[in-house]
């Protein structure tokens, strides 16, 4: 998950430590860790038919993720490299903005090589390997999504700190929490939704959440919070619209958004914990 001002870098320190692969590119996951993956996978895979977009489901088929153990990144890389020229990159539990954008600009998707504990089974702030692999990697087999993510990385790498805050909103409302119109109805493509059972139901079924057509200038002006169900989702009309967005002068839109200012937040400010 990402905050509105920091991407891949939650404000709090993490208690998780990423695993390191051996000389063969393999990680020796424990039985306990594999069991967490199995439970997460089984819970989420049952929710996806009729909810996840076709492009995601196609990618899931291509990756052929194991049900009962954490996949090895080298197996994921084999498929991604073949389909779109992408690969994964092992990273610590938290990385900074510059590292994140550098990886995306090089067609490397950062994957923190740890999995959540049983105590944080339903929600954790840091993006773990289940979120990154199950939520995002299937769509990295898709040319439109892969191109959009690559373009985003290059823009973010060149941007200053303020502009990166605006770009973070574009990532949040597409890659993490995007919805898609289809002839069969509304579908999910955002990895933050696809890896969360609660948000999978809420994003499609809530009569409280707002769902607006995706206009890039509006997205850049929309605040968000990472620790609540999203009050607002933006909806693509066609999946390949991601290609078109990537071809826009996004940084010119950022400048326009800065002049117009942010929309009023649709959520209360986060309560500060007394020290």
Beta bridge partners of residue 213, listed in sequence order: 235
Please indicate if the annotation marks 131 as binding a ligand. yes
Nearest-angstrom CA–CA distance, 229 and 208: 10
Q: Over its length of 275 residues, how does the chain's per-residue pLDDT go in tens digits?
A: 333 333 444 445 788 999 999 999 999 999 999 999 999 999 999 999 999 999 999 999 999 999 999 999 999 999 999 999 999 999 998 899 999 999 999 999 999 999 999 888 887 778 999 999 999 999 999 999 999 999 999 999 999 999 999 999 999 999 999 999 999 999 999 999 999 999 999 999 999 999 999 999 999 999 999 989 999 999 999 999 999 999 999 999 999 999 999 999 999 887 764 44
Long-range interactions of 44-51: CB distance < 8 A, separation 24+: 44/134, 44/194, 44/195, 44/197, 44/200, 47/197, 47/200, 47/201, 48/194, 48/200, 50/184, 51/187, 51/188, 51/200, 51/204
Give me the phi and psi of 172, to 5 degrees please: -60, -45
How many C-beta neighbours within 10 Å does residue 206 have? 15
Beta bridge partners of residue 188, listed in sequence order: 52, 179
Which pair of structure tokens corresponds to residue 126?
């840091």
pLDDT computed for residue 5 by the predictor? 33
Please indicate if the annotation marks 176 as binding a ligand. yes
pLDDT computed for residue 123 by the predictor? 76
pLDDT computed for residue 12 by the predictor? 53
Give me the phi and psi of 111, to 5 degrees please: -130, 115
Beta bridge partners of residue 181, listed in sequence order: 186
What SS3 state is found at 71? coil
Please indicate if the annotation marks 147 as binding a ligand. no
**Residue among 44, 4, 24 nearest 172 (CA):** 4
What is the layout of strands, in order, in the sheet containing 210-213? Answer: 185-188, 179-182, 232-236, 210-213
pLDDT computed for residue 272 by the predictor? 61
For 108, residues 6+ apart whose C-beta sits below 8 A from its C-beta are 86, 87, 88, 89
Decide the pairing of beta strands 210-213 and 232-236: parallel
């Amino acid at each position: 998950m990402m905050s509105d001002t920091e991407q891949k870098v939650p404000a709090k320190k993490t208690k998780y430590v990423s695993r390191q692969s051996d000389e063969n590119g393999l990680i020796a996951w424990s039985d306990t860790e594999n069991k967490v993956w199995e439970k997460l996978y089984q819970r989420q895979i049952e929710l996806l038919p009729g909810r996840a977009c076709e492009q995601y489901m196609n990618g899931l088929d291509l990756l052929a993720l194991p049900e009962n153990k954490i996949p090895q990144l080298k197996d994921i890389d084999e498929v991604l490299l073949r389909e779109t020229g992408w690969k994964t990159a092992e990273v610590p539990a938290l990385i900074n903005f510059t590292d994140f954008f550098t990886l995306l600009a090089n067609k490397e998707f950062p994957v923190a090589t740890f999995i959540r504990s049983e105590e944080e089974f339903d929600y954790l702030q840091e993006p773990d390997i289940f979120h990154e692999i199950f939520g995002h990697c299937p769509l990295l087999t898709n040319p439109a999504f892969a191109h959009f993510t690559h373009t985003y990385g290059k823009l973010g790498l060149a941007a200053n700190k303020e502009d990166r805050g605006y770009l973070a909103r574009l990532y949040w409302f597409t890659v993490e929490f995007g919805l898609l119109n289809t002839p069969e109805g509304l579908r999910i493509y955002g990895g933050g939704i696809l890896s969360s059972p609660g948000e999978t139901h809420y994003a499609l079924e809530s009569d409280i959440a707002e769902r607006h057509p995706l206009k890039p200038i509006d997205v850049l002006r929309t605040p968000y919070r990472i620790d609540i169900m999203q009050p607002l989702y933006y909806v693509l009309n066609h999946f390949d619209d991601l290609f078109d967005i990537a071809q826009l002068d996004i940084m010119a839109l950022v400048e326009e958004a800065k002049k117009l200012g942010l929309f009023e937040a649709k959520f209360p400010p986060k309560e500060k914990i007394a020290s």
